[in-house]
Amino acid sequence: MSKQKARVTIHEVARRAGVSVATVSRVFNNSDLVVKQTGEKIRSVAHQLNYIPNASARSLSMKRTETIGMLLPDMHGEFFSEIIRGADAIAHKERYHLLVSASHSNKEELETATKMMSGRVDGFILMSPHLDSETLVAEYLNSIPTVVLSSSKARRTHDSIRIDNVDGARQVMRHLLSLGHRRIAIVKGDRGNEDGEERLAGYHAELRANGIDAKDEFIVAGDFTEPSGYAAGRVLLELKNRPTAVFASNDEMAIGVLRYLRERGVSVPDEIAVAGFDDIQISSLIHPSLTSIHVNISELGSLAVERLLLFLSTGKRHASGNRVVLPATLVVRESTAPRKSLL
Amino acid sequence: MSKQKARVTIHEVARRAGVSVATVSRVFNNSDLVVKQTGEKIRSVAHQLNYIPNASARSLSMKRTETIGMLLPDMHGEFFSEIIRGADAIAHKERYHLLVSASHSNKEELETATKMMSGRVDGFILMSPHLDSETLVAEYLNSIPTVVLSSSKARRTHDSIRIDNVDGARQVMRHLLSLGHRRIAIVKGDRGNEDGEERLAGYHAELRANGIDAKDEFIVAGDFTEPSGYAAGRVLLELKNRPTAVFASNDEMAIGVLRYLRERGVSVPDEIAVAGFDDIQISSLIHPSLTSIHVNISELGSLAVERLLLFLSTGKRHASGNRVVLPATLVVRESTAPRKSLL
DNA sequence: GTTTACAATGTAAACGGTTACATTTTAGCA
DNA sequence: TGCTAAAATGTAACCGTTTACATTGTAAAC
């Protein structure tokens, strides 16, 4: 079982095919200056010997690894898999590989991971709530092409791809307003989380655009988890002047809100309408199904790889501040059905 | 922006530190035969120059890449991210990297992906419903250490790590039986899917152990998706002799069953109890919350990496048929609360 | 039948590390 | 102080490619 079959090298192939290594190399790099017959002979010999070019030697010589490093934060669930799925699809098509590193819950971890990967990859795709300017201009990161996923701090120095959070939030708000709601609460995200901040900004913007004052008591804190949504639900129900609608900054919190409302016997959407953001899979399956904002997450991954490969092919380090914004789409479901009183 | 700062090499460090490359190399490989002072000097110079050893050169010379290839099937959601998270945690600790490739929906894709990675990795972690013996004994796969995730076909030839599906299913059944249920239906998984088959086997085994005949009409097909569970729910309700409990082979189908039952006004668990398998995150959040079987998925990833690293360190290709079985734990929730009639 | 131009192939020097082996330094001891 | 063994460091070959440049082959033009 542990027979050490020495890997066959390009020299072996060359010898058996009666040509020089250069010619073999040319064949495998699709050079057009090898005569057809020679090429076929070489390919056949190589196939017979089960020859696979040594990637390390190739990288060393060419100074490219054909690998992309993906550094992802400590996120769970669908987001993670969808991003990788999207990224892998494109990378694979372009014969690139994905070196992934998960779970960076703080800046230090992110930095060491980046350093460890540096040298094994041609470029980085970076996603982290902890990205700040200092980190980004660090020597090793500034000398490698990098695309940043949704971090405004980096937008001026690096290419970035983001979700249109503000527009998404405004869509939710417009929808709720169009249903006649005027007392609309929001469950915020973590302090400092950019997606959360942008969604809150959208909330404010749309209220303002409709001449409605935002009430402080309608803005409650959450941390993107279901329990924090549950807690927010309690806070809102205890107000003497309850809201008629709640916009949670993500679906998990919205589900938490729904859970609390159900426990208290508050009917959704008749007494209170609820909407979320992200459109995770469950949102369409629960009861009442949840109105949310859909974003094509796998596209986030694909686009990131596409942009990165573009840099790599043009030889640039990184285009400064080039941005792509992914559209957000409202998906209306039961949790915000028109109120009966309005029908 | 695109200044091509040539990477600093070991030679440059050696020159500046006034030593030979061998000494520098030794320092970075923690050889103990470098005198402390020299080592410090070298480290300081290296740090100043921002020296990072070239991974390709290193791999070429050492014949190891310090990278593990992970080939995952076309799966969505939590499973995917949890496996990677678990694998990455261990890999990172041991200074290994993870080269991942997602979405292999058929055998051919799996094979090309494996081939492409071969040579860039020291070993493979393979998970695919399409794994068969021929694929596994293929030249390139048989010459690289490989750990297989949950595929019985491979169990004799390769190390494998699997979920204790049979036991999990039996636990669900024992639980339902202990509640007094005798008419228990099962929603199967895809034909040919091993997890599904094993869960079905557990269903049968536990019935048999209790002297209950399995009724064909209580065994309905599904394909692990929510809609297929919904459809199965319909089939079961249309039986003249309805079951009093339904065991769905995974949570998504169980959720589909619940959706149909709610639509038809059938109360859960009072009229029909429902249980799933996998304990995905939503299962605890929906209403009624779903009784399910919990498996520590990230552990599946960690264990796979651990075993693989073990081979790598011992120099073996693969241990034949060494198996690890992950325990499954029953989590009882509202969907199978004791029936009122029994209280 | 040369000469010429270009197409096809070959030669050998990188690429940046590791490490067996050679050499020098150091320390211990008579 | 000189001798020796062991410790510290240096030298250079090697890992398996790519590719600039050199060489050879071929066909057309004279």
Q: Please, what are the domains in chain A?
A: 10-53 (1.10.260.40), 65-162+297-326 (3.40.50.2300), 165-295+330-342 (3.40.50.2300)
Q: What does the pLDDT look like over A44-102, one tens digit per residue?
A: 999 999 899 999 999 999 999 999 999 998 877 788 899 999 999 999 999 999 999 98
End-to-end CA separation in angstroms for chain B:
74
A51-65, A143-157, A162-176: the lowest-pLDDT one: A143-157
Inter-chain CB pairs, A–B, below 8 Å: 166
CB contact under 8 A, A55 and B101: no
Q: How much is the pLDDT for B160?
A: 86
Of B140, B226, B285, the CB nearest to A226: B285
User: Does residue A165 register a pLDDT over 90?
Assistant: yes
Query: Do B57 and A56 count as a contact with CB atoms less than 8 A apart?
Result: yes
pLDDT above 60 for B127:
yes
Q: Which nucleotide is nearest to A7 (CA to C1')?
A: D16
Contacts of A292 (CB under 8 A, 6+ apart): A251, A254, A275, A276, A277, A278, A279, A280, A283, A330, A331, A333
Of B1, B282, B285, the CB nearest to A316: B1
What per-residue confidence (pLDDT) applies to A316? 65
CB contact under 8 A, B60 and A80: no
Q: Is the pLDDT of residue A156 over 90?
A: no
Per the model's pLDDT, the better-predicted residue between A106 and B274 turns out to be: B274
Question: What is the spatial distance, in angstroms and rounded to an integer, between the CA atom of B23 and the C1' atom of C24?
Answer: 14
Mean of pLDDT values over A171-197: 93
Q: Taking every pair of C-alpha atoms in chain A, what is the biggest distance, in angstroms?
A: 90
Å from the B33 CA to the C14 C1':
31
Tokens of B120: 């860039």
Q: Work out the average pLDDT over B91-117.
A: 87
How high is the mean pLDDT of chain A? 88
Q: In the structure, how far is the CA atom of residue B54 from the C1' atom of nucleotide D11, in angstroms?
A: 21
Confidence tier at B315 by pLDDT (50, 70, 90):
low
Q: Which residue stretches of chain A are H helix?
A: 10-17, 21-28, 36-49, 55-62, 78-93, 107-117, 133-137, 139-142, 165-178, 194-209, 226-237, 251-263, 297-314
Q: What percent of chain A has pLDDT over 90?
A: 67
B234: Cβ contacts below 8 Å, ≥ 6 apart: B260
Residues of A numbered 247-266 whose beta carbons fall under 8 angstroms of chain B's beta carbons: which are they? 255-256, 259, 262
How far is B76 from chain A, CA to nearest CA, in Å? 6
Block residue for tokens 């309005």: A342
Cis preceding linkage at A288, omega within 30 = yes
Single out the residue of A246, A261, A244, A270 nearest to residue A340, CA to CA: A270
Strands A184-187 and B184-187: unpaired
Strand C nearby residues, CB < 7 A: A 18-23, 26, 32-35, 37-38, 57, 60-61, 63; B 6-7, 9-11, 21-22, 25-26, 28-29, 51-54, 57-58, 60-62
Q: Which residue has better confidence, A110 or A136? A: A110
CB contact under 8 A, B143 and A65: no
Residue A28 CA distance to nucleotide C7 C1' (Å): 19
* Mean pLDDT lowest among A183-197, A199-213, B161-175: A183-197
Q: State which protein residues have CB closer than 7 Å to strand D.
A: A 6-7, 9-11, 21-22, 25-26, 28-29, 51-54, 57-58, 60-62; B 18-23, 26, 32-35, 37-39, 57, 60-61, 63
Query: Tell me, what's the pLDDT at B259?
Result: 96
Given an 8 Å threshold on Cβ–Cβ distance, is B88 in contact with A102? yes
Q: Provide the whole-model pTM.
A: 0.89
Q: Mean of the pLDDT values across residues B200-221?
A: 96
Question: Which of 14-53 (A) contact B at CB < 8 A?
Answer: 50, 52-53
Query: Which of the two residues, B40 and B142, has the higher pLDDT score?
Result: B40
Q: Is the pLDDT confidence value at A6 over 80?
A: no
The number of CA neighbours under 13 Å toward the Cβ of A265 is: 0
Cβ-based contacts of A286 with chain B (< 8 Å): 282, 285-287
SS3 of B222, please?
coil
pLDDT of B282 > 60? The answer is yes
Q: What value does the mean pLDDT of chain B take?
A: 88
Task: Please report the pLDDT score of residue A87 as a whole number.
Answer: 96
CB contact under 8 A, A143 and B101: no
Structure tokens, A129: 């709530």
Report yes or no: A2 and B142 within 8 Å, Cβ to Cβ: no
Report CB contact under 8 Å: A52, B100.
no
| pLDDT value of position B343 | 42
Would an 8 Å CB–CB cutoff place B95 in contact with chain A? yes
Contact status, residue A300 vs residue A86, Cβ threshold 8 Å: yes
Residue closest to C7 C1′ by Cα: A33
Supply the angle between the helices B226-237 and B251-263 in degrees, to the nearest 10. Answer: 50
Write the Ramachandran bin of A63: left for phi over 0, alpha for psi from -120 to 50, otherwise beta. Answer: left
Residue B34: nearest nucleotide (C-alpha to C1'): D8
pLDDT at B149: 87
Lowest average pLDDT, out of A176-185, A260-269, A282-291, B150-159, goes to B150-159
Q: CB A139 to CB B67 under 8 A?
A: no
> Between A181 and B33, whose confidence is greater?
A181
Please give the residue of chain A at the shortest CA–CA distance from B86: A102
Question: Residue B18: which residues within 8 A CB-CB, separation 6 or more?
Answer: none
B77 with A76: Cβ contact below 8 A: no
CA of B14: nearest nucleotide by C1' is: D10
Structure tokens at A89: 């699809």
Whether residue B23 has pLDDT greater than 70: yes
Residue A319 has pLDDT above 70, yes or no: no
pLDDT at A4 over 60: no
% of chain B exceeding 70 in pLDDT? 89
Between residues B77 and B156, the one the model is more confident about: B77
Q: Is pLDDT larger for residue A256 or for residue B37?
A: A256
> Where residue B137 falls among pLDDT bands split at 50, 70, 90?
low
